[in-house]
Amino acid sequence: MERALELARKGFGFTSPNPCVGAVLVRSGKIIGEGWHRRAGKEHAEVEALRDCRKRGSSPRGATLYVTLEPCSTHGRTPPCTDAILTAGIRRVVVGATDPNPRHAGAGLRLLRRHGVQVTTGVARAAATVLNEGFNHWIVHRTPFVTLKAAMTLDGKIATAGGDSQWITGPNARRHAMRRLRRGADAILTGVNTILADDPSLTYRGPGARNKSWRRIILDSHARTPTAARVLTDANRAQTLLVVTSAAPAAAVAALRRQATVVEAPADDGRVQLPWLLAQLGGEGITHLLVEGGSEVNGAFLAAGLVQRIAFYFAPKVLGGRGSRTGVGGPDPATLASAWSVRSPEHVALGDDWFITGLVQRPSDKFST
Q: Are residues 157 and 119 in the same domain?
A: no
Q: Are residues 138 and 244 in the same domain?
A: yes
In degrees, rounded to 5, the angle at the alpha carbon of residue 174 between the alpha carbons of residues 239 and 300 is 60
Q: Are residues 86 and 193 in the same domain?
A: no
Q: What is the CATH number of the domain that holds 329?
A: 3.40.430.10
Q: Are residues 196 and 330 in the same domain?
A: yes
Give the count of domains, the chain: 2
Average of per-residue pLDDT across 206-217:
84
Q: Are residues 174 and 305 in the same domain?
A: yes
Q: Are residues 126 and 190 in the same domain?
A: no
Of 132, 166, 201, the last residue of a domain is: 132
Least confident of 50-64, 150-164, 188-202, 253-267: 150-164
Q: Give the Cα separation of 47 and 206 in Å (integer).
A: 28
Q: What is the CATH number of the domain that holds 56?
A: 3.40.140.10
Longest Cα pair distance anywhere in the chain, in angstroms? 70
Q: Give the Cα separation of 225 and 231 in Å (integer).
A: 9
Average of per-residue pLDDT across 30-51:
94
Q: Give the Cα separation of 122 and 318 in Å (integer).
A: 45
Mean predicted lDDT score pLDDT of the chain: 92
Q: Are residues 22 and 142 in the same domain?
A: no
Q: What is the predicted pLDDT for the residue at 367?
A: 47
Q: Give the Cα separation of 315 and 165 in Å (integer).
A: 12
Q: What is the predicted pLDDT for the residue at 346?
A: 94
Domain that holds residue 313: 134-365
Q: Are residues 190 and 273 in the same domain?
A: yes
Q: What is the predicted pLDDT for the residue at 9?
A: 96
Measured in degrees and rounded to the nearest 5, phi and psi for residue 65 equal: -105, 125
Q: Which amino acid is at 109?
A: L
Q: Give the Cα separation of 268 and 104 in Å (integer).
A: 37
Q: Which amino acid is at 155?
A: D
Q: Are residues 97 and 204 in the same domain?
A: no
Alpha helix locations (H) across the chain? 2-10, 45-55, 81-88, 107-114, 125-131, 133-141, 171-176, 183-184, 192-198, 230-233, 250-257, 274-283, 295-303
Which positions are catalytic? 46
pTM listed for this prediction: 0.91
pLDDT of 62 > 80? The answer is yes
pLDDT of 139 > 90? The answer is yes
Least confident of 11-15, 212-216, 311-315: 212-216
Q: Give the Cα separation of 160 and 78 in Å (integer).
A: 52
Q: What is the predicted pLDDT for the residue at 366?
A: 55
Task: Band the pLDDT of 344: cuts 50, 70, 90.
Answer: confident
Q: What is the predicted pLDDT for the residue at 175?
A: 92
Average of per-residue pLDDT across 299-308:
94
Closest CA to 353 of 172, 92, 158, 130: 172
Q: Give the Cα separation of 153 and 320 in Å (integer).
A: 9
Of 94, 116, 132, the last residue of a domain is: 132
Q: Are residues 52 and 67 in the same domain?
A: yes
Least confident of 17-31, 89-103, 154-168: 154-168
pLDDT of 31 > 70? The answer is yes
Q: Are residues 221 and 197 in the same domain?
A: yes
Q: Give the Cα separation of 138 and 115 in Å (integer).
A: 31
Of 97, 132, 167, the last residue of a domain is: 132
Can you say whether the dihedral through the CA atoms of 165, 168, 173, 175 is positive or negative? positive
Q: Which helix (H) or strand (E) holds 36?
A: strand 30-36
Q: Are residues 233 and 347 in the same domain?
A: yes
Number of helical (H) and strand (E) elements in the chain, helices listed first: 13, 18
